[in-house]
A = this chain, B = another copy of it.
């Protein structure tokens, strides 16, 4: 028996998120089915980031145990031949038998991508959030700086979440502009349920002038979901980097 680690990229458009659920296809469900077919064993993967419905990833992590004799590095190719083209294993390798992708020191980087123009651009629609309202980027940058550090982010956590400890460490929040594309790039040691989307929704409210940058510390201190801005739409969010520390 060995433990295999997969680096999984996907276009989340057609999926009901990562985690297996009774209604609708999920990334985890497709991986379990294709791996079980390939290896002729019952496989259940464990994911690093349980991304929401419609969220994308360049590099999510999945681990599973197997008795297969297929060399670990070759599993990516064998599995890609069975996967739909909106999921692709970027790499596969053997990992420590006790490695758990959610109980290890890691840094995740997410990008929230905004297409900012008068009219939506069809070729951007699947991977960005469209808005035509004027956005003050300098205000957004000022607000973003307040998120950096170790804070109780309860105001930025979906109220459906069961998690008790809502303290998280955010290492950086960048606001980048490239033509009509605005990218919010957030790196941290761990994230709460919907945290990046609520941060993005709040930064958009700042950009629109509905929240002032200096209100962010008060919003964090409130520890109240209602104090923060709305949850920005899922299609704008992509997990872009996963680092083990």
Interface SS of chain A: mixed
Q: Least Cβ distance of A240 to chain B in Å?
A: 10
Q: Would you call B86 and A125 a contact (CB within 8 A)?
A: yes
Q: Would you call A123 and B9 a contact (CB within 8 A)?
A: yes
Among A124-183, those with CB < 8 Å from B are 125-127
Q: Would you call A85 and B11 a contact (CB within 8 A)?
A: no
Indicate if A36 sits at the interface (CB-CB under 8 A): no
Indicate if A4 sits at the interface (CB-CB under 8 A): no
Q: How many interface residues does chain A have, given as a range? A: 20 to 34
Q: Least Cβ distance of A1 to chain B in Å?
A: 26
Indicate if A110 sits at the interface (CB-CB under 8 A): no
Q: Would you call B127 and A123 a contact (CB within 8 A)?
A: yes
Indicate if A62 sits at the interface (CB-CB under 8 A): no
Q: Least Cβ distance of A103 to chain B in Å?
A: 27
* Residue with the greatest number of chain B CB neighbours at <10 A, chosen from A120, A121, A122: A122
Indicate if A89 sits at the interface (CB-CB under 8 A): yes
Residues on B with C-beta less than 8 A from A11 are: 122-123, 125
Indicate if A80 sits at the interface (CB-CB under 8 A): yes
Decide yes or no: A88 and B58 within 8 Å by CB, A11-B125, A125-B11 being known contacts. Answer: no
Of chain B, the residue at the smallest CB distance from A238 is B123
Q: Would you call A122 and B86 a contact (CB within 8 A)?
A: yes
Residues on B with C-beta less than 8 A from A80 are: 119
Residues on B with C-beta less than 8 A from A90 are: 118-119, 121
Of chain B, the residue at the smallest CB distance from A86 is B122
CA A229 – CA B15 in complex, angstroms? 38
Residues on B with C-beta less than 8 A from A126 are: 123, 126
CA A58 – CA B10 in complex, angstroms? 25
A-B contact pairs, 5 of them (CB 8 A): A11-B123, A56-B123, A88-B120, A89-B119, A90-B121
A-B pairs, 6 with minimum CB distance:
A11-B122, A86-B122, A11-B123, A90-B119, A10-B122, A88-B120
Q: A58-B123, A88-B120 are in contact. List 7 more A-B contacts (CB 8 A).
A: A9-B119, A9-B122, A9-B123, A58-B121, A80-B119, A89-B119, A90-B121
